[in-house]
Amino acid sequence: MDRFTVLSSAKRIVIKVGSAVLTDEAGLNYRIIEELSAQIARLVKEGREIALVSSGAVAAGRGKLPQHAQSKTVQEKQALAAVGQGRLMHAYEEAFDRFGITVAQVLLTRDGIIARNRYLNAKNTLLTLLDWNILPIINENDTVATEELQFTDNDALSVIMLNLVEAELFVCLSDTDGLYNKDPREYPDAALVAEVTKVDEAIMSMAGQGAGRAGRGGMRSKLRSAQMTTSCGLPMLLAGGRTPDILTRIFKGEKLGTFFHADKKRTFYGKKPWIAFALNPEKSLILDAGAVNAVTQKNKSLLAVGIKAVLGEFEAQTCVSLRDENGTEVAIGITNYPSDELKKIIGCKSSDICELLGYDGRKEVIHRDDMAVWPK
Ligand code: GLU
């Protein structure tokens, strides 16, 4: 679908606003919050359903507590978020009240959705809010999220949200106007890329290395999210959150920002988005080149014969990382076997499993439906 058709027809949309858009040195920028809220309200009145992912809790906390503004440790940032999140929601509540729109605060943690039933529970709650015409405003529950269990940032959290609310479009509002062919902070002749058909290495290389001004993300993280969004078969628009009337203008058809086309070949469907974006494997399997090819190119299940090593100890039904012989993660998936049994069967044919383990186990170590293969 072309950009115009996507923007005019998308009904359910996830909009993400970054900290650098919403906050200044002094904390929350209430004018921006009011302006964006007015534009979102207009979209809602048109009959669109919006889920808003909003950063800004930590930055709002810094603004309120200038004496702690330089704080950097995880605990300090968690404390700042605890101060800022309430202020952020209060600002949204006041802004949306003017339009008769009720908002709901949804704070997620990664460990809150690792269990499939809790992921589905979050999904049902969000769908109920949308059904009631309430605007969910989502952020990470920074105060309790430990570093290992954090979502990488709110760009990554937004991809989970797209799947949870079954959205048709992701609009990411950032402090840059879109993707530039080189880092505009370094090169004044950098040009805006209006459309991207595939987020490949050439596109990824256009992002500079730096993080964002105020939040955790940066252009690399935006592009990673674009890659994941498009692999879910969904389009994304990256645009400048501080451009006047940005939402109204892009939905009216003005060609601002960078439009990422949905991949025609959907990589993540069914329960794969949950595996890909909610699970966070700690243990790994090393695959030989044949198995890497079968899993990544041919959409095949992982068999014992292609596994070269089992790293770490784990139970059956654990999510593990699948790595090539250089250690690069090519996929993640849920294993049917615990590590001690796997160690007895790796490198062997599936027909030998019964004899080696003493029972007739599954032929697939990881079934392809239980696997998420990373796009390249
Ligand atoms: N959850 C963080 C906050 O509200 C932002 C994370 C990010 O920058 O993506 O401050």
Give 289-338 pLDDT, tens digit per residue.
999 999 999 999 999 999 999 999 999 999 999 999 999 999 999 999 99
Phi, psi for 292 (deg, rounded to 5): -60, -45
- What is the Cα–Cα distance from 227 to 374, expressed in whole angstroms? 10
> Does the beta carbon of 58 sit less than 6 angstroms from any atom of ligand 1?
yes
Domain ranges of the chain: 3-260, 281-373
Q: Which atom of ligand 1 is nearest to the CA of 85?
A: 4
Report the separation in Å between the CA atom of 174 and the middle of ligand 1, taken as the mean of its atom positions: 12
Contacts 24+ apart (CB under 8 A), 243-249: 243/177, 244/35, 245/35, 245/39, 246/39, 246/173, 247/15, 247/36, 247/39, 247/40, 247/42, 247/43, 247/171, 247/173, 248/39, 248/42
- What is the Cα–Cα distance from 228 to 222, expressed in whole angstroms? 10
Check if 3-260 and 281-373 are the same fold.
Answer: no
pLDDT of residue 148: 64
pLDDT of residue 213: 54
pLDDT of residue 25: 84
Phi, psi for 91 (deg, rounded to 5): -60, -45
User: Is residue 278 within 8 Å of residue 258, measured between CB atoms?
Assistant: no
Phi, psi for 273 (deg, rounded to 5): -60, -35
- What is the Cα–Cα distance from 296 to 298, expressed in whole angstroms? 6
From residue 15, give the alpha-carbon distance in Å to each of 81, 241, 269. Answer: 21, 11, 21
- Going by C-alpha positions, the residue among 57, 73, 54 that lies closest to residue 65 is 57
pLDDT tens-place values along the chain, 376 residues long: 899 999 999 999 999 999 999 998 888 999 999 999 999 999 999 999 999 999 999 999 999 999 998 888 888 999 999 999 999 999 999 999 999 999 999 999 988 899 999 999 999 999 999 999 999 999 999 888 776 667 778 999 999 999 999 999 999 999 999 999 988 878 889 999 999 999 999 999 888 766 555 566 688 899 999 999 999 999 999 999 999 999 999 999 999 999 999 999 889 999 999 999 999 999 999 999 999 999 999 999 999 999 999 999 999 999 999 999 999 999 999 999 999 999 999 999 999 998 999 998 899 999 999 999 999 8
The topology under which CATH files domain 281-373 is 2.30.130
Report the separation in Å between the CA atom of 179 and the middle of ligand 1, taken as the mean of its atom positions: 21
DSSP string, 178-219: S-BSS-TTT-TT--B--EES---HHHHTTS-S---SSSS--H
> Does the beta carbon of 139 sit less than 6 angstroms from any atom of ligand 1?
yes
> Does the beta carbon of 55 sit less than 6 angstroms from any atom of ligand 1?
yes
Report the separation in Å between the CA atom of 139 and the middle of ligand 1, taken as the mean of its atom positions: 7
CATH 3.40.50.300 fits 3-260, yes or no: no
Helix residue ranges, H only, the chain: 3-9, 19-22, 30-45, 57-64, 74-97, 116-131, 154-164, 201-204, 219-231, 246-252, 272-278, 289-297, 339-345, 353-357
> Does the beta carbon of 153 sit less than 6 angstroms from any atom of ligand 1?
yes
Which letter does DSSP use for residue 298 in this model? S
- Going by C-alpha positions, the residue among 215, 208, 214, 217 that lies closest to residue 187 is 208
Q: How many CA atoms lie within 13 A of 287 on its CB side?
A: 26
- Going by C-alpha positions, the residue among 220, 268, 234 that lies closest to residue 6 is 234
pLDDT of residue 209: 62
Burial (Cβ within 10 Å: 0-12, 13-18, ≥19) of residue 147: exposed
Q: Take atom 2 of ligand 1 and give the residue whose Cα is closest.
A: 55
> Hey, is 309 helix, strand or coil?
strand
